[in-house]
Structure 1
Amino acid sequence: MKGADLINTVLPEEVLLDILSRVESKPDLDSCALVCRKWNRIDRSTRRTVKIAAYGAADQLLARVIGRFTGLTSVIIDELVPLSSYFPPGLATPSKHRRNTLSGSRRRNRNSPGSSSSSVEENGTEQHSLSDAGLSFLGVGCKRLEHLSLTWCPSLTSLGLVSIAENCRALKSLDLQGCYIGDVGLIAIGQNCKLLQELNLKFCEGISDKGLTDLARNSNSLTSLAISSCPRITDMSLQAVASHCHHLAALTLELDSIKDESVISIAKSCRSLKSLKLQCVNVGDLALQVVGSFCASLEVLALYSFQGFTDGSLYAISKGCKNLRQLVLTDCNLLTDRSLEYIARGCTKLEYIEINGCQNIESTGLESIGRFCSGLLKLSLVYCSMLLKSAFIEVGSGCSLLQSLHLFDCPKFDDDAMCQIAVGCRNLRQVHLRRCYEIGDKGMISVGKNCKYLTDLALQFCESVSDESLFAIAEGCSLQHLSVSGCHKITNNGLAAIARSSPDLISLDISVLENIGDIAMAELAEGCPKLKEISLSQCTKVTDVGLTHLVKGCMGLETCSMVYCPLITASGLATVVSSCSKIKKVLIEEWKVSERTRRRAGSVLTSLCSEL
């Protein structure tokens, strides 16, 4: 009955609580919290996760969040998060602390653990980062905390982390990426947080062997460890990890200081290792051969910039790691086709393979993948100039389950190969091609006819592709993401066909298209109301009138790039920022920003200097 509150009067509070706990979408949960005071109170007591920015009045904001939401178990604090994002209902963004530049533009003293939490931007205004005081608020107020992420919070020291360790003893996951935390804080975590399972120490330059060794001795439950760019970490502390953390399942190491011995110790001690990602210039064949012998459960192997191992390493992996599902090889110049042949024959459960810049890998290895790895779901090949058409045809014939194809700078990939893949891999959902100059309309027409599940298409600088390709795609597929940057033959007609067939389009990149104009903007406005991201850079025929059409239909726009568009003026920019209430980022030349627009939306503007 109109005007009656039947839900709150009829449903018991425990039932309503159970209903709200099943709402998974954060925007929907925020909306529920604003319905009435009762729902807001329930939300405050049941909210478990919050994500906030680490700059501005971070300490005060964190104190308000803790005071309002008493049941938090997961807190994500990230300096790179916009202040306007992830705010719980009722906590307004303090506009005077918003920033116009990226965090990297600040001048900080990151080398001093006792440095002030304030920093100075290039324009002289004072900014504040999350400090130890804020972290102490969190420790005292959220004693049931299980997951804590502190990403790029440069003002934090061991003092704040000690408070977390002493108060949050149920902590299971800790991400300290980019924080200058010292050994004292890490030791405290090891002594107090006995349930710790996941630890990220990437770019934690203050950590040394002492801190990691002591933590390893006390953290027998550790299952995931990531260490990157920590110059004071050596083989000694990693061998301590091997001695005490026998349940380790995921390890990421990006360290120049370690040698074979560390990886060998971990491989022999941590038999349940499932994920191993290495970028270590001093690690070679011997270490990977031991991994192949002892880590039978390995499912993910990623090797970056390796110059010290050969085909023999992957031969050992293929013999011992039969459950391997993901393989990433980047800049491994000593590997040849034999490596992929070994993997294809020995690891037939392979689902994802990425090869980037391995110049000695030619066609035979990829042909073997096509023959023996019928369960392949994703294939990514970058800077593989030696691959011939025959390799792709073999993939098309044998990998019928393939869902994602990424080919960047593969000059031998042509229309015939694309047709073979389209016919054989009808489950394709994502196709990304960049600078594949032999791809034209024939191949893309075949994709449109055969790959009905395709939702994500990128054809960057594939200069032979024209409107005919988009007509075929529009007829057979409904896209959510499209990038045709640099495809000069595409006009308003092709883009209009996509707009009419893809009502769920979310992101669009049509930069460097000289034949796209206002007609296309009007078509997008009418056909793509869900559009959130658009790049119009160097679209020389798009005008302010086109932007007016666009924002009338795409009011949910969040990101817009429109540099080097000579017919877009300050008036067009003002139209975008005033019409799109959810806009978060606009890229445009600085001289087109009026003072009024800067006052109104300075926090979302990213400008290029007029000299560029």
Structure 2
Amino acid sequence: MTDMGLGCIAVGCPDLRDLTLNWCLGITDLGVQLLALKCKKLRTLNLSYTMISKDCLPAIMKLPNLEVLALVGCVGIDDDALSGLENECSKSLRVLDLSTCRNVTHTGVSSVVKAVPNLLELNLSYCCNVTPSMGKCFQMLPKLQTLKLEGCKFMADGLKYIGISCVSLRELSLSKCSGVTDTDLSFVVSRLKNLLKLDITCNRNITDVSLATITSSCPSLVSLRMESCSHFSSEGLRLIGKRCCHLEELDITDSDLDDEGLKALSGCRKLSSLKIGICMRISDEGLIHIGKSCPELRDIDLYRSGGISDEGVTQIAQGCPMLESINLSYCTEITDVSLVSLSKCAKLNTLEIRGCPSVSSAGLSEIAIGCRLLAKLDVKKCFAINDVGMLFLSQFSHSLRQINLSYCSVTDIGLLSLSSICGLQNMTIVHLAGITPNGLMAALMVSGGLTRVKLHAAFRSMMPPHMLKVVEARGCAFQWIDKPFKVFYLPPYKPRSSKSDATYGNNSLEMCLYDEIMRNACYRRLDCQPYMNMMV
């Protein structure tokens, strides 16, 4: 897109209301000025990562109906550009995004806030240092409700003055900031009585002191994100469940959470999203409390929480019928029993079970039959998942959009079956020993809806270039990965018990065949030679 194309839009669409021009590097100030002159009804304008400069900003600010302006990553926007806006005034602008504008400092921010008195949301993430003078200037935004300062460095008292100036804030993001202390954070949250959403992700210097103030001063919180805040103790985390009963979203990934903490969190009965991955002290005992008390739960992340097994997952599946997304990656104790339980969650659309060696195509088949809305599936390193699972997915999972099959035991047959799903858009198929260049090419030609495929780089020279161009011409982008094959330890094969047979059906001959296929395919993963022969 160049100024000529933008000019055609401006002249031909005078009633235009929303326009996004991300990464349109051919756009200059001249084209934007013409747009502002002709399209007076514009309400949303996104010029992120374009080459505009100060020359077009006055024209933009004069748009009488503009409510949302995004200038993310615009290197031409600096303090000089923003200082020219002091005499301009946009009473209509409600949302301004200047994140990643590296040439803007607190001086430029002070200039721009004077021009937008009715601003409701301001994003300055990864933009500039937060100084006391910058914090004071926010007093000119009495209606400001959302302030995002991710990745910013706070100078002494910078955060304190935000607490003084922005008492109307409902959402504050301090994710990955430096210079945030217990003293300053406690002061801020004690003044923000209307705060509903707080993000303090990766602030590793704050402790239970801040958490105590947050939970006592902000009882109306609906969203609290504090991933990788490593200095919170299990006792401090329990305060969340005891005091913040209105929480709907909670992220305490990589924390000291234990089963007693989960029991306390079960008091947050409105929880719809709970992320407790890499919490090594939790087990089924704690998870059972969540399953019994949080019926509105839609999203749960248990990534690498190794103490979780089938018992906990089953309780979540039974107690949370609205469940839409679950991440069980590297929860190595779960088996097909968990998948059978989750198959009763009819609204499930995202399932991540990467690195779970005890799940198989038998369990995946139950998911395919029961979860018809499944759109995203990650079964990487699930060695016992083979063509049988793919056949069931192709038959029942017509909503599937994204799948990762790396290191599975799928062959050309399964891949070709999977490619019959019309809506499939994204596939990652790295290190599949049973895939041949001919089988892969056939699957790619059949899959007309693919937009992104991740493959091992060795396949690139083994496939006809003209056929790859045909697939690319249909809108599919290839990502070629050059990673060495990794050998993983596989647990000894255990025949299914009679109880397990009853779980999956009465056709014992069929199940024996399935087991034999999976066992053989699984043990072949320990031998790299078939894969190496294929690459030659």
**TM-score of the superposition, structure 2-length normalised?**
0.84
Could you tell me how far 1:447 is from its partner in structure 2?
Answer: 1.0
Could you tell me how far 1:365 is from its partner in structure 2?
Answer: 3.1
Match of 1:564 in 2: 431
Q: Which of 412, 415, 419 is residue 281 of structure 2 equivalent to?
A: 412
Deviations 1:202-240 (A, max 9, x none): 111111222222235323322222212323322222212
Report the Cα distance in structure 2 between the residues aligned to 1:610 and 1:285, rounded to whole angstroms. 46
Match of 2:446 in 1: 579
Q: Which of 417, 421, 424 is residue 293 of structure 2 equivalent to?
A: 424
Match of 1:329 in 2: 200
- Contact 2:85/2:111 (<8 A) preserved: no
- Contact 1:486/1:513 (<8 A) preserved: yes
Output aligned runs, 1:141-180, within 5 Å: 141-180=12-51
Deviations 1:81-114 (A, max 9, x none): xxxxxxxxxxxxxxxxxxxxxxxxxxxxxxxxxx
Report the Cα distance in structure 2 between the residues aligned to 1:251 and 1:476, rounded to whole angstroms. 39
- Contact 1:242/1:269 (<8 A) preserved: yes
- Contact 1:242/1:265 (<8 A) preserved: no
Could you tell me how far 1:155 is from its partner in structure 2?
Answer: 2.6
Deviations 1:7-61 (A, max 9, x none): xxxxxxxxxxxxxxxxxxxxxxxxxxxxxxxxxxxxxxxxxxxxxxxxxxxxxxx
Report the Cα distance in structure 1 between the residues aligned to 2:221 and 2:477, rounded to whole angstroms. 44
Q: Residue 566 and residue 348 in structure 1: after superposition, are their counterparts in 2 closer, same or farther (change >3 A)? A: same
Q: Which of 275, 281, 289 is residue 160 of structure 2 equivalent to?
A: 289
Could you tell me how far 1:282 is from its partner in structure 2?
Answer: 4.0
Report the Cα distance in structure 1 between the residues aligned to 2:120 and 2:271, rounded to whole angstroms. 27
Which sits farther off after the overlay, 343-352 or 145-154?
145-154
Identical columns (%): 28
Could you tell me how far 1:351 is from its partner in structure 2?
Answer: 0.9
Report the Cα distance in structure 2 between the residues aligned to 1:402 and 1:252, rounded to whole angstroms. 27
Report the Cα distance in structure 1 between the residues aligned to 2:482 and 2:112, rounded to whole angstroms. 53
Q: Residue 251 and residue 195 in structure 1: after superposition, are their counterparts in 2 closer, same or farther (change >3 A)? A: same
Q: What is the one-letter code of the residue matched to 1:606?
A: F
Output aligned runs, 1:72-111, within 5 Å: none
Match of 2:340 in 1: 471
Output aligned runs, 1:55-74, within 5 Å: none
Q: What is the one-letter code of the residue matched to 2:98?
A: I
Could you tell me how far 1:611 is from its partner in structure 2?
Answer: 6.6
- Contact 1:362/1:388 (<8 A) preserved: no
Report the Cα distance in structure 2 between the residues aligned to 1:271 and 1:229, rounded to whole angstroms. 24
Q: What is the one-letter code of the residue matched to 1:573?
A: L
Report the Cα distance in structure 1 between the residues aligned to 2:128 and 2:249, rounded to whole angstroms. 33
Aligned partner of residue 283 in structure 1, secondary structure:
coil
Which sits farther off after the overlay, 479-488 or 210-219?
210-219
Aligned partner of residue 198 in structure 2, secondary structure:
strand
Could you tell me how far 1:410 is from its partner in structure 2?
Answer: 1.8
- Contact 2:425/2:452 (<8 A) preserved: yes
Could you tell me how far 1:430 is from its partner in structure 2?
Answer: 1.2
- Contact 2:136/2:162 (<8 A) preserved: no
Q: Residue 285 and residue 352 in structure 1: after superposition, are their counterparts in 2 closer, same or farther (change >3 A)? A: farther
- Contact 1:268/1:290 (<8 A) preserved: no
Report the Cα distance in structure 2 between the residues aligned to 1:201 and 1:236, rounded to whole angstroms. 17
Structure 2: where are the runs of 5+ without partners?
485-536
Output aligned runs, 1:449-468, within 5 Å: 449-468=318-337
Q: Which of 182, 194, 217 is residue 87 of structure 2 equivalent to?
A: 217
Could you tell me how far 1:198 is from its partner in structure 2?
Answer: 2.0
Could you tell me how far 1:433 is from its partner in structure 2?
Answer: 1.8
- Contact 1:235/1:261 (<8 A) preserved: no
Report the Cα distance in structure 2 between the residues aligned to 1:255 and 1:532, rounded to whole angstroms. 33
Q: Which of 520, 525, 542 is residue 389 of structure 2 equivalent to?
A: 520
Match of 1:131 in 2: 2
2:49 matched to 1:181? no
Match of 2:259 in 1: 389
Deviations 1:332-391 (A, max 9, x none): 22211121221111111111111122221222332111111111111112332x333322
Q: Residue 469 and residue 611 in structure 1: after superposition, are their counterparts in 2 closer, same or farther (change >3 A)? A: closer
Aligned partner of residue 560 in structure 1, secondary structure:
strand
Report the Cα distance in structure 1 between the residues aligned to 2:132 and 2:58, rounded to whole angstroms. 24
Report the Cα distance in structure 2 between the residues aligned to 1:301 and 1:407, rounded to whole angstroms. 22
Output aligned runs, 1:196-595, within 5 Å: 196-221=66-91, 222-255=93-126, 257-279=128-150, 281-284=152-155, 286-384=157-255, 386-396=256-266, 398-475=267-344, 477-539=346-408, 541-552=409-420, 554-592=421-459, 593-595=463-465
Q: What is the one-letter code of the residue matched to 2:324?
A: T
Could you tell me how far 1:514 is from its partner in structure 2?
Answer: 0.7
2:488 matched to 1:606? no
Report the Cα distance in structure 2 between the residues aligned to 1:458 and 1:232, rounded to whole angstroms. 39
| Structure whose residues are more often strand by fraction | 1
Deviations 1:264-305 (A, max 9, x none): 233312121110111364424633333333433211111033
Could you tell me how far 1:563 is from its partner in structure 2?
Answer: 1.3
Report the Cα distance in structure 2 between the residues aligned to 1:328 and 1:282, rounded to whole angstroms. 15
Aligned partner of residue 587 in structure 1, secondary structure:
strand
Which sits farther off after the overlay, 441-450 or 194-203?
194-203
Q: What is the one-letter code of the residue matched to 1:600?
A: V
Q: What is the one-letter code of the residue matched to 1:550?
A: L
Q: What is the one-letter code of the residue matched to 2:472?
A: G
**TM-score of the superposition, structure 1-length normalised?**
0.74
Q: Residue 556 and residue 233 in structure 1: after superposition, are their counterparts in 2 closer, same or farther (change >3 A)? A: closer
Q: Residue 205 and residue 605 in structure 1: after superposition, are their counterparts in 2 closer, same or farther (change >3 A)? A: closer
- Contact 1:217/1:240 (<8 A) preserved: no
Aligned positions, number: 478
Give the CA RMSD over aligned residues: 2.1
Report the Cα distance in structure 2 between the residues aligned to 1:282 and 1:549, rounded to whole angstroms. 52
Report the Cα distance in structure 2 between the residues aligned to 1:275 and 1:452, rounded to whole angstroms. 33
Deviations 1:479-502 (A, max 9, x none): 222111111111111111111211
Q: What is the one-letter code of the residue matched to 1:597?
A: M
Deviations 1:159-212 (A, max 9, x none): 22122122223333221211121111223323x324332222211111122222
Report the Cα distance in structure 1 between the residues aligned to 2:482 and 2:71, rounded to whole angstroms. 40
Aligned partner of residue 460 in structure 1, secondary structure:
coil
Q: Residue 425 and residue 610 in structure 1: after superposition, are their counterparts in 2 closer, same or farther (change >3 A)? A: closer
